[in-house]
C-alpha cells in the first residue's frame, strides 16, 4: 500500500531500555504502561517489546480505523499466536483468514432464536441448583461462586448435557491450568519452558481427549443435542469436509473461554458495583420483581431480555469499568496509513477497552460506576466504537448476546432470591493473567428475601 507522505508518525513512548524497550514495565504493569502511552502520546502512541513495535490506538475514531481495516492489512491471527497452544493447531488464530471465517461462521446457528431460549432455561436451572446449599443466610465469595457457576452453565450450553453431567474435579483443574497459561509473557514468546506453559500444554491435550470421548459416544449412540457441540459436529467447510475432533475441541475451548470469562467476571462485578454504590440497586431489584412477579420463575428469552433494561445497563457498566479483555491486537501485514498515521509492516496495532472506557472525553466521570450513562437521554455508548467491551467490526464477539443472556439471568435470580451486602474485602481488579477478574476473596453477606424463589 502506498502510504501518503502526509501520514504522521506515531508518538513514541519515552523511557524504553536498550534492546528490551518497554518489556519490563509491560510484564510488571501492563495496564499502567497502556495508560501511560495514552496519556503521554495521545491518539496513537508506540512502545516496544524486545523486537516488536506496539502502536496503541485510542479514541472512537482510532478504534474505528483499526476495527474496519481488512484482515489483509491488519491480521488478528498474526498477533494472537500466543493462543495457538490453547486452542490448538489449525484452529481459529492458526488459520488463514478465510478458513478462520468459515470456522467462526459455523457457530452462528448455535446463537440464534430458539437456541437462546434453550440456553436461558439451562442457565436458570443451573443457577437455582447452585444456590440450593446457600440456605437462608450466610457469606459467599461472589467471584468464586460466579466462576464455578458459569463454568457449569457454559459447559452445559457449549459442550452438552453429557459433558456437564460428567464434570469432575479433573475438569475443573484442567480448565484452570489452561486458562492460567495465558499470561502477558506469552505475547513475547508463547512456548517458553516455564511451568505455566507446561501445565497449559498438558491441560490442552487432556481437554481434547475429554471432548473427543463425548463426541465418539454421541456419534455411536445417535444422540443429538441442542448445543454448540452438536452444531459443530454437523458443520462442514465450503469444500464439504467435516471438522475433525481436534478442530471441534479447539473451537469449543475458544467459545468456552469467551463465554466463561466474560460471564463469571462480569456477573460478580455487576453485583459488587451495585452494592458498592447502592443508588441504582433498588431500581434493578424493582425491575426484576416487576418482570418476574412472586411465584414466577426467572427464565430469560429475547423478550424478557429486552424488558430487563436497567439490569442490562448495570451489566454493561460493569463491563465498561472492568473489561475482561484489556487489549485487542492486530498485526500490520504491510506498510499502511491508519487514522492518518503511518504504520509499518510487522507492527502490532492495539486497542485497549480498559483505556477506551476510562476516556473522560467520551464517558462522563469515567471512573465512576454509573449505569444511567446508557439511558437514551445520555446514551454515552451511542458514538460508534466508543464502547468496545465486545470488540468491534468483523471480529466483534459473536457470543455477546449469549453472554448478556447468561449474566442477566444469573444476576436476576441472585437479586430476586437474596439481599446482599459487602463483607468488607477490598474490591480491586486482579491483573494476574490476561483475563481480568475481581481480586479474591470478594465476599458478600446474603439473606433470603421473603418472596425469593
Q: How far apart are CA 17 and CA 292, in angstroms?
A: 58
Q: How confident is the model at residue 336 (pLDDT cuts 50, 70, 90)?
A: very high
Average pLDDT, the chain: 87
Task: Outline where 160-280 has alpha helix (H).
Answer: 161-165, 169-179, 185-188, 195-221, 228-233, 245-277
Whether the Cβ atoms of residue 330 and residue 74 lie closer than 8 Å to each other: yes
Q: Output phi, psi for 311, to 5 deg.
A: -60, -40
Q: Is residue 6 part of a domain?
A: no
Q: Is residue 163 part of a domain?
A: yes
For residue 453, pLDDT over 50 is answered with: no
Q: Is residue 1 part of a domain?
A: no
The DSSP code sequence of 25-87 is HHHH-HHHHHHHHHHHHTTEEEEEETTEEEEEE-SHHHHHHHHHS-TTTEEHHHHTGGGHHHH
Nearest in space to 374 (alpha carbons), one of 355, 388, 387: 387
For residue 321, pLDDT over 80 is answered with: yes
265-288: average pLDDT = 93
In this prediction, residue 417 carries a pLDDT of: 93
56-68: average pLDDT = 96
Who has greater pLDDT, 137 or 432?
Answer: 137
| Strand-pair category, 52-57 with 348-351 | parallel
Least confident of 43-47, 57-61, 341-345, 391-395: 391-395
Q: How far apart are CA 269 and CA 442, in angstroms?
A: 10
- Residue 324: all three cell numbers together: 475482561
In this prediction, residue 61 carries a pLDDT of: 95
Domain residues for the domain of 146 are 11-448
Q: How far apart are CA 342 and CA 320, in angstroms?
A: 30
Q: Is residue 229 part of a domain?
A: yes
Q: Is residue 182 part of a domain?
A: yes
Q: How far apart are CA 325 and CA 58, in angstroms?
A: 16
Whether the Cβ atoms of residue 242 and residue 205 lie closer than 8 Å to each other: no
Q: How confident is the model at residue 305 (pLDDT cuts 50, 70, 90)?
A: confident
Contacts of 443 (CB under 8 A, 6+ apart): 139, 140, 141, 142, 423, 424, 425
Q: How far apart are CA 280 and CA 131, in angstroms?
A: 24
pLDDT tens column, 108-133: 877 776 777 788 888 999 999 999 99
Q: How far apart are CA 358 and CA 38, in angstroms?
A: 11
Residue 426 belongs to a domain with what CATH number?
1.10.630.10
pLDDT tens column, 204-260: 898 888 888 888 888 888 888 778 888 889 899 999 999 988 898 888 888 877 666
For residue 41, pLDDT over 50 is answered with: yes
Q: How confident is the model at residue 434 (pLDDT cuts 50, 70, 90)?
A: low
Q: Is residue 5 part of a domain?
A: no
Residue whose entry in the numeric block shows the C-alpha cell 457441540 = 229
Q: Is residue 2 part of a domain?
A: no
pTM > 0.75: yes or no: yes
Nearest in space to 88 (alpha carbons), one of 243, 230, 193: 243
- The burial of 205, by beta-carbon neighbours within 10 Å (0-12 exposed, 13-18 middle, 19 or more buried), is given as exposed
Nearest in space to 175 (alpha carbons), one of 214, 147, 135: 147
Q: How confident is the model at residue 86 (pLDDT cuts 50, 70, 90)?
A: confident
Q: Is residue 97 part of a domain?
A: yes
Number of domains forming the structure of the chain: 1
Least confident of 131-135, 373-377, 429-433: 429-433
The DSSP code sequence of 370-422 is -GGGGSTTT-TT-STTT--TT--GGGS-TTHHHHHHHHHHHHHHHHHHEEEEE
Who has greater pLDDT, 111 or 316?
Answer: 316
Who has greater pLDDT, 201 or 436?
Answer: 201
Q: How far apart are CA 369 and CA 349, in angstroms?
A: 29
In this prediction, residue 216 carries a pLDDT of: 87
Cα 216–chain centre separation: 30
Amino acid at each position: 500500500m502506498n502510504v501518503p507522505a502526509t501520514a504522521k508518525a506515531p508518538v513514541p513512548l519515552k523511557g524504553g531500555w536498550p534492546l528490551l524497550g518497554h518489556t519490563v514495565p509491560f510484564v510488571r504493569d501492563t495496564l499502567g504502561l497502556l495508560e501511560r502511552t495514552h496519556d503521554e502520546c495521545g491518539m496513537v502512541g508506540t512502545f516496544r517489546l524486545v523486537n516488536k513495535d506496539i502502536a496503541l490506538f485510542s479514541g472512537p475514531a482510532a478504534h474505528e480505523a483499526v476495527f474496519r481495516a481488512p484482515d489483509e492489512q491488519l491480521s488478528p491471527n498474526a498477533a494472537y499466536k500466543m493462543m495457538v497452544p490453547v486452542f490448538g493447531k489449525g484452529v481459529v488464530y492458526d488459520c488463514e483468514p478465510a478458513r478462520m471465517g468459515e470456522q467462526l461462521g459455523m457457530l452462528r446457528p448455535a446463537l440464534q432464536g430458539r437456541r437462546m431460549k434453550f440456553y436461558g432455561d439451562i442457565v436458570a436451572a443451573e443457577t437455582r441448583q447452585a444456590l440450593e446449599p446457600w440456605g437462608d443466610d450466610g457469606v459467599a465469595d461472589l467471584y468464586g461462586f460466579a466462576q464455578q457457576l458459569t463454568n457449569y452453565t457454559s459447559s452445559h450450553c457449549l459442550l452438552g448435557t453429557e459433558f456437564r453431567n460428567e464434570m469432575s474435579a479433573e475438569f475443573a483443574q484442567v480448565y484452570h491450568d489452561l486458562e492460567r497459561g495465558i499470561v502477558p509473557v506469552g505475547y513475547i514468546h508463547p512456548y517458553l519452558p516455564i511451568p505455566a506453559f507446561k501445565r497449559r500444554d498438558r491441560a490442552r491435550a487432556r481437554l481434547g481427549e475429554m471432548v473427543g470421548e463425548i463426541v465418539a459416544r454421541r456419534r455411536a449412540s445417535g444422540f443429538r443435542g441442542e448445543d454448540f457441540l452438536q452444531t459443530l459436529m454437523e458443520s462442514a467447510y465450503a469444500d464439504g469436509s467435516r471438522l475433525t475432533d481436534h478442530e471441534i475441541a479447539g473451537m469449543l475451548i475458544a467459545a468456552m473461554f469467551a463465554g466463561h470469562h466474560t460471564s463469571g467476571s462480569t456477573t460478580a462485578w455487576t453485583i459488587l458495583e451495585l452494592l458498592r454504590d447502592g443508588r441504582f440497586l433498588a431500581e434493578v431489584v424493582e425491575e426484576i420483581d416487576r418482570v418476574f412477579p412472586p411465584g414466577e420463575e426467572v427464565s430469560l428469552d429475547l423478550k424478557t431480555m429486552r424488558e430487563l433494561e436497567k439490569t442490562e445497563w448495570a451489566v454493561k457498566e460493569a463491563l465498561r469499568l472492568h473489561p475482561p479483555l484489556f487489549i485487542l491486537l492486530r498485526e500490520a501485514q504491510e506498510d499502511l496509513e491508519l487514522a492518518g498515521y503511518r504504520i509499518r509492516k510487522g507492527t502490532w496495532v492495539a486497542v485497549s477497552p480498559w483505556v477506551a472506557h476510562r476516556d473522560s472525553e467520551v464517558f462522563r466521570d469515567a471512573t465512576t460506576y454509573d449505569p444511567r450513562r446508557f439511558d437514551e437521554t445520555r446514551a454515552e455508548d451511542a458514538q460508534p466504537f466508543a464502547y468496545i467491551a465486545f470488540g468491534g467490526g468483523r471480529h466483534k464477539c459473536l457470543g455477546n448476546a449469549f453472554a448478556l443472556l447468561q449474566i442477566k439471568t444469573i444476576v436476576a435470580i441472585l437479586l430476586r432470591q437474596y439481599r446482599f451486602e459487602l463483607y468488607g474485602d477490598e474490591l480491586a481488579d486482579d491483573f494476574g493473567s490476561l483475563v481480568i477478574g475481581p481480586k479474591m476473596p470478594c465476599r458478600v453477606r446474603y439473606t433470603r428475601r421473603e418472596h425469593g424463589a
